[in-house]
Amino acid sequence: MNKAHPLIAIVIALAAVPASAQPATPGAAECAALQTMQLPGFVLSEVSAQWIAAGPAKPPLPPTLVLPARCRLQGTLDRRKGAGGQPYGIGFAVALPEVWNGRFLFQGGGGFNGVLGEPMQGLARGFAVVTTDAGHRSPNGNALDTQFLSDQQATIDFAYRAVERVTALARAVIARHYTQPISHSYYVGCSTGGREAMLAAQRFPMEFDGVVAGAPAMRSYYAVLGVDWVNVQLNRVAPKDAKGQPVTRDALSSTQKQAVIEGIRKSCDANDGVRDGLVFNISACTFNPKALVCSGKNKGAGCLTAAQAAALERAFAGPRTDEGRQVYAPFAFDTGIADTQGLGGLLNGGFNGSTISTTDLKAAVRWADTNQANGITDTAGWTNMTTFADRGGKMILYHGLSDSTFSALDTVDYYKRLGEANGGADAVRRWSRLFLVPGMGHCGGGSLTTDSFDALTAIVDWVERDTPPDAVVATRTAEPKLTRPLCPYPKYARYSGRGDPNDVANFACSTP
């Protein structure tokens, strides 16, 4: 469960979202009054209220983005002493813009949370925004720290309760501050925030009108196993260091890694009508690493050995038990799997956050199967969404195909099961859509990918205008610049064969 990549720019792109309510303009005096407020049902401590003048955003948001004047309310909910005498409580921060558009946005967290981020997503558009540390503070701001799991209540808060409690608190604060009701409520997040967005729709179906769940950490401990499986296979052909330990990232040389990427491009890139380094028609990708095995006169620096090819084939097929049970989803052969941006691609060893051996496969499977935290944080098994859908709720899922932390194909599997449990694929597409992003790593990044897109406008338009996202325009900001439509699964972006291949206008969503 990785600390979220700086993806905020994706979901708060600067396209305007029309206000749905008359603006309310309480100022510094009303902000100060929140510090001593009493709210029935909530025990607050360490409360501070600060009026912040309009000014440029802080990283990871672009400094060119100007945030409005706002009240920032911070505090702790349900403060207590927990296991080992450690202090616990649900930290929260609410940003209340001077001119409010009537909307409420819950900004998801990352990693194991434990860090209280700045509530900024959607703030420039006039949303009232809340974020939380999910019930614990990590030492030194380390969002991957798991010490809190020794405390029962802190584990429950992280798994789901913090979302419920902070949602209720934020609603009460907003009502007190603006003295008018919320028009629409949204949840947006990636990684752990994506899991939180899913559980917001699954477990609290009456609370949110629209959710955006990116690269969701649906079953994080099995995802760790998925990456560990890749490392197990690569370590079988990796060179050893001075201590006799396999060096995973050197299982393939840099030349061989590039040969793999070129092999994927040769086999799969043109299946969407244009060779551009991006594999949009992933269902038609038939790349097999064995095609890169060569010998004799044809043997070169980019050739794979038979053992390397077999290791890659097993690695990307996903972990299975000795009895053949698929434990976690396969990974896609995508052009970003060797990219060193962000968390690094799977060919470099990916992200390995487990405490298990990367050479003992049976131990890895046993570890994932018996881990006690699986059930409480799992959102992959929740497919009954009747209440959320019937009341008009909308859900957007997105996932980078080169994600080296959570397999995009696991999200595809969830989306398929969602259809099976809710009246079929066509029925589900009326309220939920999945967008796959070629070349994108975990929540963003990738040297060639089109990873800048505005999912927040898409979900708002769907909820408030009943305009489903038949495509979401994505941009590559690095050179060479281009735009592409992200199409709702199972459709993909296909080049028409006419006009500038870097222009989104010359692509259409096509069925495989």
What's the per-residue H, E or C state across 406-446?
CCHHHHHHHHHHHHHHCCCHHHHCCCEEEEEECCCCCCCCC
Q: Catalytic residue at 209?
A: no
User: Coil, strand or helix: which one is 104?
Assistant: strand
Q: How far is CA 438 from CA 9, 442, 478, in A?
A: 18, 12, 15
Given the residues 442, 451, 454, 461, the one annotated as active site = 442
Nearest-angstrom CA–CA distance, 84 and 72: 32
SS3 call for 225: helix
Cis peptide before 60 (omega within 30 of 0): yes
The identity of residue 190, as a single letter, is C
Residue 177: active-site member: no
Q: Are residues 396 and 318 in contact, defined by beta-carbon separation less than 8 angstroms?
A: no
Contacts of 138 (CB under 8 A, 6+ apart): 112, 113, 114, 115, 144, 145, 147, 148
Is residue 442 among the annotated active site residues? yes
Q: Answer whether the bond into residue 62 is a cis peptide, omega within 30°.
A: no
Residues 6 or more apart whose CB falls under 8 angstroms from that of 208 comprise 106, 185, 186, 187, 200, 201, 393
**Where do the DSSP E strands lie in 19-69?**
44-52, 55-56, 66-67
Residue 110's φ and ψ, nearest 5 degrees, are -155, 160
DSSP 58: P
- DSSP-derived secondary structure letter, 240: B
Q: Locate 164 and state its tokens.
A: 């419920």
Rounded distance between C-alpha atoms, residue 465 and residue 458, angstroms: 10
Query: Which one from 191, 354, 402, 432 is the annotated catalytic residue?
Result: 191
CA distance linking residue 57 with residue 305, whole number of Å? 50
**Catalytic residue positions, numbered:** 191, 403, 442
